């Protein structure tokens, strides 16, 4: 599916394909087209194995596509000479597993992406403290990851992702391991960054409420973007509300009794509409049905 192709795009993906393995090839991404505007928050949903992490890894130049291209701020990643430097300056990563270095303090972890950038040690420390202040953790600067809660560790990881002021943040299930309160804090922080600094954010999530913080929700399946929902759009809002209701859950499960309860003509058409509605609702959840 083609998502909007605008000229103000900070990130553009064309026919991006990734095939893993050779003996039994897996098409993790199948000719994906995507365009993200500067300052957008885009949520990526979809069942496990649908290619969400692969997409983020390609966008972040953490791995190379089989074919197709990724352009960030007009640079085709294929033509970027020093990918490490480009990545460090342009992109911030937040993963489900925070990946903090256990033997470094919070402040030292935040400084890691600044290494090799020539900044003075003292300046690096000051900058790390600014970032920790931003995420509300200045008083924990000297703590090791093991001395922090899950939510605090993830906030340190966000501070680290931000330290070079990237224009784009790629977040892969950043709240996946957090309780709902910490998860909300992390999302609020990302939304605030987006609002105050115009940081463009791509966030993979299984949580519909998290996805609602975005302007768009992309639903992936089998390596493709199969649906795009605009948050705030009347249909999307209705679908989100229905998906959360008992009736919605039953329709998603293709519960025939629930479908029969809908005020629709009970013939082949009903089944067809029910199946279409069910597919739409499922595209806002991560529930799969074979």
Ligand X SMILES: Nc1ncnc2c1ncn2[C@@H]1O[C@H](COP(=O)(O)OP(=O)(O)O)[C@@H](O)[C@H]1O
Options 9, 10, 13, 28; binder of ligand X; rule CB under 6 A: 28
Options 35, 54, 154, 219; binder of ligand X; rule CB under 6 A: 54
Q: Which CB sits closer to ligand X, 17 or 254?
A: 17
Would you call 221 helix, strand, or coil by DSSP?
A: strand
If 0-12 CB within 10 Å is exposed, 13-18 middle and 19+ buried, where does residue 65 land?
A: buried
Would you call 284 helix, strand, or coil by DSSP?
A: coil
CA 211 from chain centre, in angstroms, equals: 9
Nearest approach, Cβ of 42 to Mg ion (angstroms)? 16
- State the Cα–Cα distance between residues 70 and 78, nearest whole angstrom: 8
Stretch that binds ligand X, among 1-9, 21-29, 228-236, 280-288 (CB under 6 A): 21-29
Options 53, 152, 205, 283; binder of ligand X; rule CB under 6 A: 53
Cβ contact 227:219 at 8 Å: yes
- State the Cα–Cα distance between residues 276 and 166, nearest whole angstrom: 40
Stretch that binds ligand X, among 19-27, 156-164, 174-182, 233-241 (CB under 6 A): 19-27
The reply on whether position 195 binds ligand X by CB under 6 A is no
Count other Cβ atoms within 10 Å, centred on residue 84: 10
Options 23, 48, 146, 265; binder of ligand X; rule CB under 6 A: 48
The item of ligand X, Mg ion, none sharing an interface with residue 28, based on CB under 5 to 8 Å by kind, is ligand X
The item of ligand X, Mg ion, none sharing an interface with residue 54, based on CB under 5 to 8 Å by kind, is ligand X
x/- map, 27-56, Mg ion, by CB under 5 A:
-------------------------xx---
The reply on whether position 51 binds ligand X by CB under 6 A is yes
If 0-12 CB within 10 Å is exposed, 13-18 middle and 19+ buried, where does residue 246 land?
A: exposed
Stretch that binds ligand X, among 44-52, 114-122, 130-138, 250-258 (CB under 6 A): 44-52
User: What are the structure tokens assigned to 285, written together?
Assistant: 């959840």
Q: Which CB sits closer to Mg ion, 170 or 258?
A: 170
The reply on whether position 60 binds ligand X by CB under 6 A is no
Options 1, 6, 26, 275; binder of ligand X; rule CB under 6 A: 26
Return the closest-CA partner of residue 136 out of 107, 112, 156. Answer: 156
How far apart, in Å, are the Cα atoms of 86 and each of 51, 171, 221, 232?
24, 18, 30, 34
Q: Which of positions 60-79 make contact with Mg ion (CB under 5 A)?
A: none
Please give the residue ranges that form the binding site for Mg ion (CB under 5 A): 52-53
């Amino acid at each position: 599916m083609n998502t909007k192709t605008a000229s103000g795009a900070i990130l553009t993906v064309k026919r991006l394909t990734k095939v893993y393995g050779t003996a039994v090839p897996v098409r993790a991404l199948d000719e994906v087209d995507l365009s993200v505007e500067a300052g957008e928050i885009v949520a990526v949903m979809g069942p496990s194995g649908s290619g969400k992490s692969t997409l983020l890894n390609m966008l972040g130049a953490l791995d190379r596509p089989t074919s197709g291209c990724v352009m960030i701020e007009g640079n085709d990643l294929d033509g970027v000479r020093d990918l490490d430097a480009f990545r460090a300056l342009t992109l911030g990563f937040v993963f489900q597993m925070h990946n903090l270095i256990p033997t470094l303090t919070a402040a030292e972890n935040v400084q890691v992406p600044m290494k090799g950038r020539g900044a003075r040690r003292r300046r690096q420390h000051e900058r790390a403290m600014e970032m920790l202040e931003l995420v509300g953790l200045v008083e924990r600067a000297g703590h090791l990851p093991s001395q922090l809660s899950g939510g605090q560790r993830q906030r340190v990881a966000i501070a680290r992702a931000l330290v070079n002021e990237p224009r784009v943040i790629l977040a892969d299930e950043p709240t996946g391991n957090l309780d709902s309160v910490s998860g909300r804090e992390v999302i609020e922080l990302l939304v605030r960054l987006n609002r105050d600094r115009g940081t463009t954010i791509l966030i993979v999530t299984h949580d519909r409420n998290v996805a609602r913080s975005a302007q768009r929700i992309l639903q992936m399946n089998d390596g493709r973007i199969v649906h795009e929902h605009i948050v705030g759009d009347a249909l999307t809002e209705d679908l989100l509300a229905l998906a959360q209701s008992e009736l919605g859950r039953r329709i998603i499960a293709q519960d025939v009794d629930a479908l029969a309860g809908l005020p629709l003509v009970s013939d082949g058409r009903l089944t067809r509409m029910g199946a279409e509605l069910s597919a739409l609702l499922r595209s806002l959840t991560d529930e799969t049905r074979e």
